[in-house]
Homo-oligomer: A and B are copies of this chain.
Amino acid sequence: MKRRTVVLLLGGKERTVLQPVLGRPLGAYALEAATRLGPDAVLVFAGAGADQNKWEGLIESVETGTPVFLLPAGKRPARNLAFLPAALVTARAILEKYPERDVLVVPADRPLLRDRTLKALVRAHVAKGSSLTFLSGAGETGLAGVMVLRSSDVFPLLRPVPRVRAAAGFEDLARRLTKAGKKVGFFLCPDEGEILPAGDSVAVGRAARELRRRKNEMLARRGVVFLDPSSAWIDWAAEIGPRTVVYPSVVIEGPTRIGGDGRIFPHVHIMSSTLGARVRVLSSTVMEDTVLENDVQVGPFSRFRPKTRVCRGAKVGNFVEMKNTVFGPGSKAQHLSYVGDSTVEEGVNVGAGTITCNYDGVSKNPTRIGAGAFIGSGTELVAPVTVGRGAYIAAGSTITKDVTAGALAIARARQVEKPGWVLERVRARKSGRRGGKP
């Protein structure tokens, strides 16, 4: 392409364009497609009364590598040609910095537009020496609202067309350009699905489905193995390494990174986490803002809250919750435990039913467990507390004081037996007495 471009992104209905689709605002998709052309600048026209922060969020969700200017729109949502004159007034100062450009106009509510379509549109526009080229669908879909125009030809002819139907505005402009000896062209969109506006919630749903399909297809082409691509829900920003197997009904949100040769079992929900290579996430596991290093296995039914790191080769099992914890290399916590605000060194065995009592009703307190320690099942570790390296906690203990390295700590009552008690209780109940609590 010899000539250079500037992109105008028309915000449209805020409720639609800011609705999250695969983890980012719907409008981000059209913005991304447009910026892939490598324009000199992008001007984003927010809707009137728009929430500035949200529009900035939309822009930030795309890596543009281009100057992007956020401009307030007029009183009506920025959507079509009728809006352009007002927009040009608003944007004059910026546009003057980029004279003699081809201006690509894209409504933000076309999430399915592909960059290759926009590139082909601009290419055709330039090749034919046109002043204005509309992207068009065949039949019912008609003009798409997407167009490219030669600013020096078109801007002078634009005039406010408030309350006129967009199509009328198009026709009017085309007529005047032709009169002035300029060329007006149409470029047929190869896939009409791309230009359908996501005008209401049902259309947004349909677009979301198609984007999901595209994302999963992209990952499959890079070697991810989906057992059922149609039921995996992967955030647009997520990445998964080759040969990792993704089971049905997996949901992955946010800028999650998953290494290669892993296995994500069914009904897993991962949010904004980082997983190394060869990680196995067994069924129905939930995690957020968590790091699982290489060769870790977690789940089923593990739950990781933010600021947790599970180090290489460690195993975390069913009904185990971790939060704000470093869990050392090769350590294990396989059953029914809560490990919070803790530092666990390597090779530790955390028995079933272990609870770090990190909250005393007033403040949160830390637990430290040294390398190679063995925490017997059914143990409460009342924080702040430190268990020394290689120490052994007897099952059923409530540990309130620090434990010396290599020592056995025990805190439980002696077992006593009352022979025949069961029969006696039956008799007592039969004769109308309650029988004491066991």
Q: Which residues of A contact B (CB under 8 A)?
A: 19-20, 200-202, 205, 208-209, 212, 216-217, 220-221, 223-231, 233, 247-249, 251, 265-267, 269, 282-284, 286, 300-301, 303, 317-319, 321, 335-338, 349, 351-353, 355, 357, 359-362, 374, 376-378, 380, 382, 390-392, 394-401, 403-404, 406-423, 425, 429, 437-438
A286 CB, min distance to chain B CBs, angstroms: 5
Measured between beta carbons, the chain B residues less than 8 angstroms from A303 are: 300-301, 318-319
Query: Contact: B417 with A408, CB < 8 Å?
Result: yes
Least CB separation from A226: chain B residue: B205
Residue in contact with A208 in the complex, picked from B227, B374, B425, B437, CB distance below 8 Å = B227
Query: Contact: A202 with B217, CB < 8 Å?
Result: yes
Query: Contact: A380 with B380, CB < 8 Å?
Result: no
Query: Contact: B417 with A409, CB < 8 Å?
Result: yes
Residue in contact with A269 in the complex, picked from B212, B226, B266, B400, CB distance below 8 Å = B266
Query: Contact: B382 with A395, CB < 8 Å?
Result: yes
Measured between beta carbons, the chain B residues less than 8 angstroms from A247 are: 251
Known: A319-B336, A396-B397. 13 other contacts (CB 8 A): A230-B230, A231-B231, A233-B266, A266-B267, A266-B269, A267-B267, A267-B284, A335-B355, A397-B415, A398-B413, A401-B415, A409-B415, A409-B416
Query: Contact: B415 with A413, CB < 8 Å?
Result: no
A339 CB, min distance to chain B CBs, angstroms: 10
Query: Contact: B438 with A422, CB < 8 Å?
Result: no
Measured between beta carbons, the chain B residues less than 8 angstroms from A396 are: 380, 382, 397-398, 411
Query: Contact: A361 with B349, CB < 8 Å?
Result: yes
Cβ-closest 3 pairs across A and B: A396-B398, A408-B421, A411-B415
Q: What separation, in Å, do the CA atoms of A223 and B204 have in the docked complex?
A: 12
Contacts A286-B282, A353-B355, A423-B406 given: A220-B248 contact, CB under 8 Å?
A: no
Q: What separation, in Å, do the CA atoms of A319 and B338 have in the docked complex?
A: 10
Query: Contact: B417 with A407, CB < 8 Å?
Result: yes
Contacts A411-B414, A419-B407, A429-B362 given: A438-B231 contact, CB under 8 Å?
A: no
A26 CB, min distance to chain B CBs, angstroms: 11
A362 CB, min distance to chain B CBs, angstroms: 7
Query: Contact: A374 with B357, CB < 8 Å?
Result: no
Least CB separation from A335: chain B residue: B338
